[in-house]
Structure 1
């Protein structure tokens, strides 16, 4: 039995009316760990357990670590998650509720990652947040569900952090006869490694992450995400933090669901009617979820963004 659930696929009448397109939402925020990460990471954890893993080790500032913690509890496998000092208390508490051992180490995700690798023993499996073919295969199940439901959108909109979701979506499209469906890859300014890499034609590593959408904060995307851009129509859109926060608040008003700005930036591409989406009749947005925000937190971020203007 897979660790993820089949999430709701709904047409948003409120957003559709606002933008003049048929907007469909794949509600990955409904996954047990609160984000799409449950799909790929859950699948990878099950596979590593079959291969003999006795413990899962991960480094994360949020959603990936929580997905590993959830998988470990469900599979009765001990989990250690290394988080940087910047990790929120909310994320740490949620991981602890899943019975994970959480260690705070390092000022950045890179430092947490290096420390996590130093703990590895022969019977351990390191669960990468996004750069693992097993994770992509798990994420691809999202597209399987969409096609089983009979929906073939004109375009798919998703957020990009490290590129794991993007790779899974492309893999899912290929195996479901959807290789002709373009993907709009959305990032926030200051966390746009993928957009910069697409423009350059090679991987670009950011010096730092300056966006408030910290769960998009991979300084460099996985190589496969860039490789897929050479065989699939992928268009990059980069939007400011204020649009990501505004979209998260609009989505809360429209659907009563809290998503963090890392997810909100994909919704912002729709709410803001970006040029990349013009001409498409039916658009699917992957509402990737995330546990990093509450309604109060979004309101506070909105105030901060207004003060910064």
Structure 2
């Protein structure tokens, strides 16, 4: 299991690539929730999401191990991150993306000189394809979440939160495969165990919720239907799940309408364009999925890579 020391080492390794992202606060959002709400702004991160943290940590070590090519399976953000850091290190990268991938994310991968391979609509289809390509091309597969280096890299988000905000009561983190959430949990719970950490999933992508209820990794279908495309995993990772079981205080679900409203609110009131996956944390706070009264609350905004051609489908009216 990943330890706090692994996250601290990862921070030193990635510090010249991954930014220390800012904290943003909205008085309107705080008033709406009845708490002091802060946004940890990973949508302003290099490549537009937190994924650069774990990808950089893993690809750097893969290069040290002699890798001459890397592959990844991604709905977009992980692929962008792997392509970016591989390009920085002069390593070819092939990214396996879903057939319905966000076009802006695919274009970004290409701009980072990553080769594109389309396969299916779920991580259960993409990951085996990326592993096969790595084997065929004598490369190294860079997992999207289920690897100690990935988890440790993502955990650096948690270290920054503890440094940037005093007296944090609750951290809300989006949950897909569990790389971000397990890393943040490890960083926060091993330094300040009294801080509550709550995960959030879309109702149409609740594989971790089901897995936690059953006490074992459980696969679900239909996750490709949620607009939160970064959270379309079919099951949590074998490495991430035990960490979620050990440390996560609660996990809540939000509807597609909740996600659209939260995304629209942040764009209209805060002038920040965030992804639907990011908006899940704001939605959980706004729609009272968690009791947050008078707390200091951090919503982790995981990314901001939105296909602008689909904004009319994603946004809703927030003022009557």
Q: Deviations over 1:108-145 (max 9, x none)?
A: 43333222222224852211111111011111111222
Q: CA contact under 8 A between 2:169 and 2:295: conserved in structure 1?
A: yes
Q: CA contact under 8 A between 2:21 and 2:40: conserved in structure 1?
A: yes
SS of 1:186's equivalent in the other structure is strand
Q: Would you say how many aligned residue pairs link Structure 1 and Structure 2?
A: 301
User: 4+ residue stretches of structure 1 with deviation over 6 A?
Assistant: none
Q: Deviations over 1:211-250 (max 9, x none)?
A: 2222200000113443224432421111111110110010
Q: Deviations over 1:148-185 (max 9, x none)?
A: 3352410100111111111110121144x212211111
Is 2:91 the partner of 1:77?
A: yes
Is 2:38 the partner of 1:24?
A: yes
Alignment partners' CA distance in 1, 2:273 and 2:99: 24
Is 2:273 the partner of 1:258?
A: yes
Q: CA contact under 8 A between 2:122 and 2:233: conserved in structure 1?
A: no
Q: Deviations over 1:43-102 (max 9, x none)?
A: 111111111111110111211111111111122211111112121322211110111111
SS of 2:48's equivalent in the other structure is coil
The aligned counterpart of 2:197 is 183
The aligned counterpart of 1:52 is 66
The aligned counterpart of 2:188 is 173
Relative contact order (alpha carbons < 8 A, sep ≥ 6): 1 or 2 greater?
2
Is 2:251 the partner of 1:236?
A: yes
SS of 2:134's equivalent in the other structure is coil
Q: Which of residues 128, 145, 148 in structure 1 aligns to 2:163?
A: 148
From the superposition, tell whether residues 269 and 106 of structure 1 become closer, same or farther in structure 2 (CA, over 3 Å).
Answer: closer
From the superposition, tell whether residues 60 and 144 of structure 1 become closer, same or farther in structure 2 (CA, over 3 Å).
Answer: same
From the superposition, tell whether residues 171 and 258 of structure 1 become closer, same or farther in structure 2 (CA, over 3 Å).
Answer: same
Q: CA contact under 8 A between 1:63 and 1:290: conserved in structure 2?
A: no
The aligned counterpart of 2:242 is 227
Greater helix proportion: 2
Q: How high is the TM-score relative to the length of structure 2?
A: 0.88
Q: CA contact under 8 A between 2:35 and 2:292: conserved in structure 1?
A: no
CA-atom RMSD in angstroms:
2.0
Q: Deviations over 1:5-30 (max 9, x none)?
A: 11002333231122221111110001
Alignment partners' CA distance in 1, 2:273 and 2:313: 14
Q: Which of residues 133, 142, 145 in structure 2 aligns to 1:130?
A: 145
Q: How high is the TM-score relative to the length of structure 1?
A: 0.91
- Tell me whether 127-136 or 232-241 shows the greater mean CA deviation: 232-241
- Structure 2 unaligned runs (5+)? 1-14
